[in-house]
Amino acid sequence: MKVEDIMTPDPVALRVDRPVREAIETLEKHAIRHLPILEGGELVGILSDRSVAPWRQTLFEAESWHDVDLEALLLDTKVGDLIERHVVFVHPDTGLGDAIDRLLDFHIGALPVVDRDSGALVGIVSYVDLLRVMREMVDAG
């Protein structure tokens, strides 16, 4: 079985120049935990819900206290300022075993899926996707 068999195609992504506030809102709106970050259409990072947790709290406090300066900081800080630019990714034809190894080796929860030829982001596969497959295998076995 390959990554393309279980990945979420055409994942929600944000550009690197978007504000942190938009990333928080996007994660919440789509009920996702990992957000691929693009620059010029190319994958340059991934942002997790854990990465923005302190910013989410700050946003909540800023809105609660009507702190305009703090809210402005959240509008001015860009996603690109938070991301790790070393992205661990897979290709659609990567085997599930290799994908699991990468998740375990790098202690991450999701892998962007990048087209081998064009380099375009075509999907994302998370540990939840892998657990679903394993659950089906347990039921089948």
| CATH assignment of the domain containing 78 | 3.10.580.10
- In the chain, DSSP finds a helix count (H) and a strand count (E) of 5, 6
pLDDT of residue 72: 67
Low-confidence ranges of the chain (pLDDT < 50): none
pLDDT of residue 53: 75
- The packing angle between helices 127-140 and 96-106, to 10°, is 130
pLDDT of residue 74: 64
- Assess contact for 115 and 84: CB atoms under 8 A: no
pLDDT of residue 85: 82
How many domains does one find in the chain?
A: 1
pLDDT of residue 67: 58
pTM: 0.85
- Which domain does 57 fall in, by range? 3-140
